[in-house]
């Protein structure tokens, strides 16, 4: 059986069903479930995406240096990617650098020749979300709907507990998808010898 791509409507509809509500056909279908979902879903999705450094929602970009230098404290300005929702790191030759973020720009003291690379979280499309993450977001939305639509505090509490559990499970499963990093012990060995 082929899987059907997830969409905001499908995720919110399943969240509504979790609390005993009605399925949602669109964010404009006139139901309380649709109204609350329309108002809250994007914030909840972005919150979940910035909860952890999810690899499915992480990217890198070489930053473009801007011609106009910052007013003070920093010598260079770089433009951040438009799709960025959370910055994870700025590196030069894979070494983290000191910087400040001002709006959609990075200010730093790197020379013209430096190539700045940004690691960042972006708003990944629901069709790319892994099942463990989708389930966590569905329970997060169910918690919102339980408060706003069902007006049931105990149900909301249960959904929030399930959301927290699912998010922990999602982080655990997600962590298994990357190469285990080896601890660099050479610095410790050098310190011990001196």
- What is the average pLDDT value for the chain, to the nearest integer? 91
The proportion of the chain whose per-residue pLDDT surpasses 70, expressed as a percent, equals: 89
pLDDT (tens digit, 9 = 90+) per residue, 112-140?
Answer: 999 999 999 999 999 999 999 999 999 99
- Which residue(s) pair with 61 in the sheet? 118
Question: What's the rounded Cα separation, in Å, for the pair 85 and 59?
Answer: 11
* Calpha distance 93→90 (Å, rounded): 10
State the pLDDT at residue 1: 46
Q: Which two tokens stand for residue 42?
A: 């994007």
The 10 Å Cβ neighbour count of residue 130 is: 14
- Yes or no: say if 100 and 74 are a contact pair by the CB < 8 Å rule: yes
Q: According to the model, what pLDDT value does residue 176 have?
A: 80
């Amino acid at each position: 059986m082929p899987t059907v791509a997830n969409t905001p409507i499908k995720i919110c509809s399943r969240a509504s069903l979790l609390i005993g509500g009605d399925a949602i056909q669109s964010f404009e279908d006139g139901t309380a479930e649709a109204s609350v979902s329309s108002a809250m879903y994007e914030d909840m999705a972005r919150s979940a995406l910035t909860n952890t450094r999810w690899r499915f929602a992480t990217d890198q970009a070489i930053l473009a240096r801007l011609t106009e230098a910052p007013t003070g404290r920093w010598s260079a300005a770089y433009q951040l990617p438009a799709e960025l929702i959370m910055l994870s790191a700025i590196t030069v030759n894979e070494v983290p650098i000191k910087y400040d973020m001002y709006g959609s720009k990075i200010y730093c003291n790197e020379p013209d020749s430096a190539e700045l690379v940004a690691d960042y979280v972006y708003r990944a499309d629901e069709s790319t979300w892994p099942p463990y993450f989708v389930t966590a977001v569905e329970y997060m939305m169910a918690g919102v709907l339980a408060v706003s639509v069902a007006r049931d505090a105990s149900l909301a509490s249960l959904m929030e507990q399930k959301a927290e559990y699912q998010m922990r499970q999602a982080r655990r499963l997600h962590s298994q998808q990357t190469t285990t990093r080896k601890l660099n012990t050479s610095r410790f060995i050098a310190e011990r010898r001196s």
